[in-house]
Amino acid sequence: GANIGMFALHALNNKGAARVISVEPAYDTFSMLQKNAASHDNLTVIRAAVGNPPRGNQTNTAVLTTYTNCSGWASVQPRPDGDVLEDVVCFSRDLAKRATHNSEDAQLFDELAGGKMQATILRTCLAQTNRNGVLGRFSKLAESLVRLQARRILQSSQVEEVPLLSLDAILAMHVDDCDDVALLKVDVEGLEHQVLEGLTRRWERVKAVVCETHGGDDASDAVASKLRSAGKFDEVHVTTPIAHSKLRMVYAARHLM
C-alpha cells in the first residue's frame, strides 16, 4: 500500500535506504507514485495488490474498491462503512486536540491530502471546533460534519480490476536470495493477514515489520501471532495510535547480532 510514495521517499532521502520496492494497486494513485519515483533509480514501483493468491496461477487478479479524493481508503477488502465512519471521527478528534497546541499538527491537514485521510474532513473538524471556542474538544456539530464528509466519500466508491501478487512473487522478481529486507511495511486497509500469508519462503531475511491493522484487537492479534509463529521475530508488540478507534500498529523486529 505505497500510496503516492511519501514513506518510500522518506526512507530514501532521510533514512539511507539502499533500495525501496513500492507496491500500489489504484491506477490514479500509482500514476502519482510513478511521477514521484521518476528521479530515483533505487525506487522500484509495481502496480498490483498484494495478497495470498492461489499458487501456480499466472493470471491472478483482484477487484479493488477506490474512493474519489481519498486514495488512502482503497482496498481489495473494504471495511464496513460503520467502522470507517467511527475511525474517521476518532482520528479527527485526536488530531483536532493536538493541532490546537501544535502548529505542526495544524499543518498536517495539507500534508495528508492523498494520504490516510482527506484533508477537507480534518479542516472542517478543526475549524468548527475553533469557532465554538472549545479548543481541544470535539463538538457534536463538528462530529456531524465529519461524518457527512466521510459518507460522501464512501458513496463515491468505484471498482477496478488489478493484478494480485504475493510477497513471495515480488521478492522472487525483485530481490536476490542473499539480500535482506530491512523493513517490510504493510498498509493495505484490511488485507493484512492475507498479505503475510503470501510470504512463505524468506521470513528469515525480513529484519523488521510495521503493519497497520483496522479490525481492532482481533485483527492485530492475528497479525502479531503470524509474525511470532511464521516470522520467528524476537520482539512483537502492538500499539493503539488513536484512542477509541480500531486502528492498531503492529511492530516486529529481530535482535541485531
Residue 21 has pLDDT above 50, yes or no: yes
pLDDT at 185: 96
Cα 231 to chain centroid distance, Å, stands at 21
pLDDT at 160: 94
Give the residue from 44, 244, 213 showing the smallest Cα distance to 236: 213
Cα–Cα separations (whole angstroms), residue 86 to 141, 201, 247: 15, 38, 10
Residue 235 has pLDDT above 90, yes or no: yes
Beta strand ranges found along the chain (DSSP E): 20-23, 43-46, 49-50, 61-66, 158-165, 184-186, 208-213, 235-239, 248-253
What are the φ/ψ torsions at residue 213 (nearest 5 degrees)? -125, 160
- β-strands 184-186, 208-213: how paired? parallel
Sole residue written with cell 495510535: 241
What percent of the chain is predicted at pLDDT more than 70?
A: 78
Q: Count of CB atoms within 10 A of residue 219's CB?
A: 20
CA 93, CA 136: separation in Å to the nearest integer?
Answer: 8
**Averaged pLDDT for residues 245-256:** 91
Q: What is the pLDDT of residues 88-117, one digit of tens each?
A: 777 776 766 665 555 555 454 444 433 444
pTM recorded for the entire structure: 0.81
**Averaged pLDDT for residues 30-49:** 95
Q: What mean pLDDT, rounded, does the chain reach?
A: 82
CA 99, CA 109: separation in Å to the nearest integer?
Answer: 9
CA 12, CA 19: separation in Å to the nearest integer?
Answer: 7
pLDDT band (50, 70, 90) for residue 136 = very low
What fold is seen in the domain 6-67+159-253? Rossmann fold (3.40.50)
pLDDT at 82: 87
What percent of the chain is predicted at pLDDT more than 90?
A: 51
- The SS3 of residue 201 is coil
Q: Can you give the residue ranges of every domain in the chain?
A: 6-67+159-253, 79-154
Q: What is the pLDDT of residues 173-224, one digit of tens each?
A: 999 888 999 999 999 988 899 999 999 988 999 999 999 998 899 999 999 9
